[in-house]
Amino acid sequence: MKIICIGRNYREHAKELKNPVPNEPVFFMKPETALIRAGLPFFYPDFSKNVHYEAELVLRICKLGKHIQTRFARNYFKEIGVGIDFTARDLQDRCKEKGLPWEIAKAFDGSAPVSKFLSITRFCQDSHISFHMNLNGKTVQRGNTGDMIFSFEEIISHVSHYVTLKIGDLIFTGTPAGVGEVKTGDHLEVFLENEKMLSLDVK
């Protein structure tokens, strides 16, 4: 199982980190050891002083595929959930400065809490899906699939051109604006539409 993450998929977020808006999806991966199952806490890592939350919609791949065409991509996911792409922003900034890969900032243990999954059929196919994250009870991020630069289908098609997708793989589809720091003692909640999907303590 692998975790694929899309970067810079919302214009306002690309802007807030002063990144250019990409003309094709940017992706990176996290290993299976990054996963935190629902109900478990996030332990603040000792190698960073600036860990950011990035709430994202997460797709679970249900079918083996490579070179998937956009028009068929819809057949490769049946479920949707939410997750947090924890990022050691200080390490990432250093990597970016040196033109190095981001792995140490993105792929560390526990950097990918993921919620339960819901059938995508619960959402009307043509309507946009919204989500939001609360930090200590206050909403800090709001996202809507209508604001994504690349759709779920375009992401799946692009990634599968390079990497075979397997059943159970997870795709984090990018974070909207409003990312920020977490601190020990914080409580994070992520909602899909109005349903609370993920609840997480930072320890």
Name the residues that contact Mg ion, by CB under 5 A: 54, 85, 175
**Cβ atoms of residues 187 and 200 within 8 Å:** yes
Nearer of residues 52 and 60 to Mg ion, judged by Cβ = 52
Nearer of residues 3 and 73 to Mg ion, judged by Cβ = 3
Buried b (16+ CB within 10 A) or exposed e, 97-130: eeeeebeebbbbebbbbbbebbebeebeeeeebb
Q: Where are the beta strands (DSSP E) in 98-193?
A: 112-113, 118-119, 130-135, 138-144, 170-172, 180-181, 187-192
Nearer of residues 120 and 177 to Mg ion, judged by Cβ = 177
Residue 87 CB, shortest distance to Mg ion, in Å, is 7
Residue 94 CB, shortest distance to Mg ion, in Å, is 18
Residue 190 CB, shortest distance to Mg ion, in Å, is 13
Nearer of residues 52 and 71 to Mg ion, judged by Cβ = 52
Residue number with the smallest Cβ distance to Mg ion? 85
